[in-house]
Amino acid sequence: MTVVTRFAPSPTGFLHIGGARTALYNWLFARRHGGRFLLRIEDTDRARSSEAAVQAILDGLRWLGLTWDGDATSQWARATRHAAVVEDMLARGMAYRCYASQAELTAMREEQKASGQPMRYDGRWRDRDPSEAPAGIPPVIRLKAPQAGETVIADAVQGEVRVRNDQMDDLVLLRADGSPTYMLAVVVDDHDMGVTHVIRGDDHLTNAFRQTQIYRVMGWDTPAFAHVPLIHGPDGAKLSKRHGALGVEAYRDMGYVPEALRNYLLRLGWGHGNEEIIDTARAVELFTLEAIGRSAARFDFAKLENLNGHYLRATSDDRLTDLVLQRLAADASAPVPDVWRARVQAAMPSLKPRAKTLVELAENARFLVLSRPLPLTDKARSVLDGDGTAVLAALVDQLGRLATWDAPAIETEARRLAEARGVKLGQVAQPMRAALSGATVSPPIFEVATILGADETMGRLRDQLPAV
């Protein structure tokens, strides 16, 4: 059997973090077994679906590196097929037309509520002759669901779960306007796409019972189910925007790299001993449904940041330079100056150990591409107060006589100046740092001077001297 999984988001908004994890688990399971990972856009809710949301989902999956097999399928485009399946059910007596009006259904539910009964359709048109149908009421089509026995699901995560059939009513398959319901469309699409494993959030667990009944009525093989607990915030409450329930594009914008987010989402409910850092290739080797926990996972930004820092340090300087320059460029369509690229790439070995996100990395590198005169932070300006500018003036004089411009030579001159003034090296290096970076924290300042080059370094130093 070829394993086939699917990710089936509704295009009513962004690809949120829970959906991204669901997509990842489906992708990993398919890749682990040499199978196929399919993408279906469940766009039957035409009022809330949008092309912009579809594009956001596709872009989010591509950014995460979760490529799907074949073309993405539109559920709405398959409405004719869904209706044909219902016609087959009607012909075999496994579905029926229900002419109950909305007023009737409302009165029925109010009566059930008042008497303390479960509120569900009472089957009033299940066995009635259609000739009794009232005029002017278009019918819905309902499944003639089993009323005795149980529906049992052997869930790969939740274990065996069962419900009595008399606790479920005859669900609607086609609405009065002929459009398919979610329950019907999902089953027909999964069957036609050959889906063997349905891996999704446990908020769909109750749906699985109804969907299983449709599979059985149609005589189709029921896929294996795996219902994954949802993600909660650090406080144990349902994940919200304040916890991190954001679109994948928001995590990209916050400076996370896709491999770090994949690793974090993998471990957010799935485990392999105490291993925290698991790259994608190893994840494909290890991933099993049985290792998914039954308890809700808790989202933790601190853990994600630490993991992202690890992946930044492991990322090539070339790639990081490209990512940083994209953030530093005011106009993304304009070519990046060669001098920017040369400086940022040369500084990257010193910059990346200090950052946990690309945002932080880009901010730390910004001074390398700023135009003169550099703006100074308040702390940097305070360093240059008093004796700071006198130190810079002397440093300009000494560095101006250098025959070789490299970090060791620059450091030697700075040490000579410190000794001559009877101060520690830091009292020379800090004014130099303030003038070259505009801040009081930077990569090693003699390396910075080397990266900037003699002309830029001397220019930035002179910019901070009093006008003569």
Active-site annotation holder among 113, 144, 238, 241: 241
CB 274 within 8 A of CB 45: no
CB 196 within 8 A of CB 171: no
241 catalytic, yes or no? yes
Using CA atoms, how far residue 90 sits from 78, 144, 147, 182, 312, in Å, is: 19, 9, 18, 19, 59
CB 276 within 8 A of CB 382: no
74 has which bridge partners?
41
Using CA atoms, how far residue 400 sits from 158, 339, 403, 408, 451, in Å, is: 73, 22, 9, 15, 17
- In 3D space, the residue among 321, 304, 314 whose CA is nearest the CA of residue 260 turns out to be 304
Query: Any idea which residues carry the catalytic annotation?
Result: 241
